[in-house]
Amino acid sequence: MTLLATVRTEVRRDLHDEDATAYRWTDTVLDRHIDRAVDDYSRASPLETKSTLSTVAGSRDISISALVPRIRIVAVEWPVASWPPDYSRFSVWGETLTLDVPSPPSAIENAYVYWHKAHTLTTGASDIPDLHDGIIQTGAAAYAALEWASYASNRLNVAGNEAWGQYYEFGNRRLAEFKAMLRALPEQNRLRQHALYPAYDASLSTSQSRDPGP
């Protein structure tokens, strides 16, 4: 498990910003770029999470406020005692998931919610595979370099007449690498997703189909 401080150090190495007495980027600024890279990574390769939530007697609504940090709801299994699993149609509005079923649950019952969760990378916790650290570092370095290039382009006396262009070129090159890495990630997860339910279509924000299961 690689933590934030280690990733930050690697990003500084990539940016050639390792002189602690004269950092070009503060830790706070680099952490912001790392967070942005983690957000992008999470959308390309989220944590596939299953949570058990409780229904309300006589209501089709289920609160999903506890499912954080949430990217999207993928599927809902209700009732849970069926085999093959019984996946229900549903819609989401705000923090409420509504079962699209003819009759609401008659009692407090379990419902299994399958959802995509954003990754965590902090000073004390990380759930990003060590193998993917380089992806985060590449994205963060790209965003940091491009921000500096944008800042310095109108302040040539700060970085020299050529420095901003070099950062711009470096940032765009790293950003292209980062996007290519992200595009490759869904292929690794697609088979696992298909084994459970049809792949989520991001263009459909609320309407989702019932699937009788494998």
Strand partners, 52: 112
pLDDT average, residue stretch 53-79: 97
- Is residue 133 in a domain? yes
**pLDDT computed for residue 200 by the predictor:** 38
* Rounded-to-integer distance, Cα 172 and Cα 146, Å: 7
184 and 142 co-located in one domain: yes
Residue 29 and residue 62 in one domain: no
The total of structural domains in the chain comes to: 2
- 134 and 179 assigned to the same domain: yes
Shared-domain flag, residues 75 and 163 = no
Kindly report the number of other CB atoms within 10 A of residue 28's CB atom: 7
Q: Is 91 in a helix, a strand, or coil? A: strand
| 42 has pLDDT over 60 | yes
| Full residue range of the structural domain in which residue 29 is found | 4-44+121-193
- Please say whether the beta carbons of 212 and 84 come within 8 A: yes
31, 157, 168, 132: CA torsion to nearest 10: -20
Give the range among 38-47, 59-68, 190-199 with minimum mean pLDDT.
190-199
Q: What is the pLDDT of residue 153?
A: 66
Q: Check whether residue 134 and residue 31 sit in a common domain.
A: yes
Q: Does the structure show a pLDDT above 90 at 17?
A: yes
Residue with tokens 């290039």: 149
Note the pLDDT tens digit of each residue in 177-206: 999 999 998 755 554 444 444 443 433 334
Give the pLDDT mean for 18-42: 96
pLDDT at position 191 is 44
Residue 205: Cβ-neighbour burial (10 angstroms; 0-12, 13-18, 19+):
exposed
pTM: 0.81
* Band (26; pLDDT cuts 50, 70, 90): very high
Show Cβ contacts of residue 178 under 8 Å, excluding neighbours closer than 6 positions.
Answer: 37, 40, 135, 138, 139, 142
3-state helix, strand, coil in the chain (%, to 5): 40, 20, 40
Between residues 23 and 2, the one the model is more confident about: 23
Domain identity same for 40 and 53: no
> Are residues 90 and 151 located together in one domain of the fold?
no
Q: Where are the beta strands (DSSP E) in the chain?
A: 47-54, 61-63, 70-77, 90-93, 96-99, 110-117
pLDDT of residue 81: 86
Mean pLDDT for the stretch of residues 117-140? 96
Query: Is 210 part of a structural domain of the chain?
Result: no
In whole numbers, what is the pLDDT of the chain averaged over residues? Answer: 86
* pLDDT digits 0-9 by tens, 135-182: 999 999 999 999 988 877 666 555 555 567 788 999 999 999 999 999
The answer to whether residue 209 is domain-embedded is: no
Q: For 4-11, what is the mean pLDDT?
A: 97
